[in-house]
Amino acid sequence: MSGIAIYKATTAHPGDVSALKALPASTKPEDLVAVIGKTEGNGCVNDFTRMLSSTVWDPHLEASGGISVFSGGTEGVLSPHVSLIVKENDYVNEDGSKQYEEGLVAKVGGTRDFEPWEMGTAIQAKVTAETIKKLMEELEVEEDDVHMVLVKCPLLTTAKVVASTKECVTSDTYKSMGYSRLATAVGIALALGEVAEDGIEDALASYGQRGWSSRASCSSGAELENCHVVVLASSRKASNPYRAVHGYMSDAIDLKVLLELTSKIPEGAERVQIFVKAEPSTDGLVRGKRHTMMTDSDIQGTRHARAAVGGLVAGVWGETDVYVSGGAEGQGPMGGGSVCVVYRV
């Protein structure tokens, strides 16, 4: 089985594709599987830096049928960057035997386009789950092998709400981002056996508090109508030096879990990337003390959360080009968020 390699590079602006120069000279266009990046927009409905980045990167993904996933918002110390997932041949010895007993593998795909009234509903969750299960089958991996399912999902615009033939989950475009992320995350949980099919509606109604995935990373944007899906997993059929561990932060200052996960990186191994979801706790508290992330009329709560968690993660990781994405509905416990650490032995 062909595994993957991951290369990371900072960007000078949302239209910067110079990261391609960081790839090995032997890399062919059909080898580029996915581009996952952070852009310096506001991360909200009118963040067009995501659209610009997708527009300039997508032509480089046509040969492979790959996808782009861009998350807006690099508040605080976070640096705009991209992580390139590239197909890589298995590492073998001269006699043809495997150099490594396992390795990381990835598969990408997309759901069908969603109608406006389907966004944020059980329909979106089920369709997303079906796509993930198909990708897992193609990778020949089981639920426990998966470390992260990263998805870019659509949102509602005013035009979509007006044109919809049925009532939408909300007419508020910003709130639609959260509903779409939630439905997508519940779909991931369904695919990975973390939520049963008869628990979908309850998970949605509780806004993810009674059903969530510890391996979901979802961000929404106006630049697409379907879900772009990346499944990252370990496979004993692959042979490469890439490894991953995953977990979740219980709240925005959960330093303990970050240290626990990074401590699993063997001495001498290379830190590749860390993917983290962040959100302000909806009860207005962090460990019993009041926060004002949800009541600031000037700055959206997800932006506060990205800045706070981004600083914590960057401090632990030792780099600022880390993937911290705001809005963790159904992607960990309320106020927390999923974490996936990738390293190279």
Give the single-character DSSP code of 208.
Answer: T
SS3 assignment, position 18: helix
Please, are residues 45 and 174 in contact by the beta-carbon 8 Å criterion?
yes
Please, are residues 34 and 4 in contact by the beta-carbon 8 Å criterion?
no
Report the C-alpha dihedral over residues 173, 301, 304, 153, rounded to 10 degrees.
-40
Query: For position 43, what pLDDT does the model report?
Result: 92
Residue 48, pLDDT > 90, answer: yes
What is the tens place of the pLDDT at every residue in 198-243?
Answer: 999 999 999 999 999 999 999 999 889 999 999 999 999 999 999 9
CA angle 175, 311, 6 (to 5 degrees): 85
Query: For position 122, what pLDDT does the model report?
Result: 98
Residue 136, pLDDT > 90, answer: yes
Query: For position 96, what pLDDT does the model report?
Result: 85
What is the tens place of the pLDDT at every residue in 289-332?
Answer: 999 999 999 999 999 999 999 999 999 999 999 999 999 999 99
What is the band of 1 on the pLDDT scale with cuts at 50, 70, 90? low
Q: Please, what sign has the CA dihedral across residues 209, 293, 274, 231? A: positive
pTM assigned to the model: 0.97
Average confidence (pLDDT) over 45-62: 95
Which residues are catalytic, by number?
Answer: 152, 219
Spatial strand order in the sheet of 103-110:
103-110, 228-235, 146-154, 216-221
The separation between CA 46 and the C-alpha centre of its own chain, rounded to angstroms, equals 20
Average confidence (pLDDT) over 11-30: 95
Residue type, 95: D
Average confidence (pLDDT) over 263-283: 97
Spatial strand order in the sheet of 323-326:
242-249, 337-344, 270-278, 323-326
Residue among 114, 188, 122 at smallest CA distance from 154: 114
Residue 93 tokens read as 């010895």
Residue 59, pLDDT > 70, answer: yes
Query: For position 22, what pLDDT does the model report?
Result: 87
Cα–Cα dist 305/171, whole Å = 24
Please, are residues 127 and 112 in contact by the beta-carbon 8 Å criterion?
yes
Residue 281, pLDDT > 90, answer: yes
How much is the mean pLDDT over the chain? 96
Cα–Cα dist 328/81, whole Å = 21
Work out the number of other CB atoms within 10 angstroms of the CB of residue 101.
8
Binding region: 50, 71-72, 181, 219-220, 279, 306, 325-326, 328, 331-333, 336
CA angle 260, 77, 277 (to 5 degrees): 50
Residue 151, pLDDT > 70, answer: yes
Specify the range with the lowest mean pLDDT, choosing from 132-136, 189-193, 207-211, 339-343: 207-211
Element (H, E) at 72: strand 67-72
Cα–Cα dist 186/200, whole Å = 7
Query: For position 196, what pLDDT does the model report?
Result: 97
Binding region for Mg(2+): 279, 328, 331-333, 336
Residue among 35, 3, 6, 273 at smallest CA distance from 140: 3
Cα–Cα dist 291/280, whole Å = 8
Binding region for substrate: 50, 71-72, 181, 219-220, 306, 325-326
Query: For position 226, what pLDDT does the model report?
Result: 97
- Beta bridge partners, 66, equal none
Please, are residues 214 and 189 in contact by the beta-carbon 8 Å criterion?
no
Residue 280, pLDDT > 60, answer: yes
Question: How many angstroms separate the first and last alpha carbons of the chain?
Answer: 19
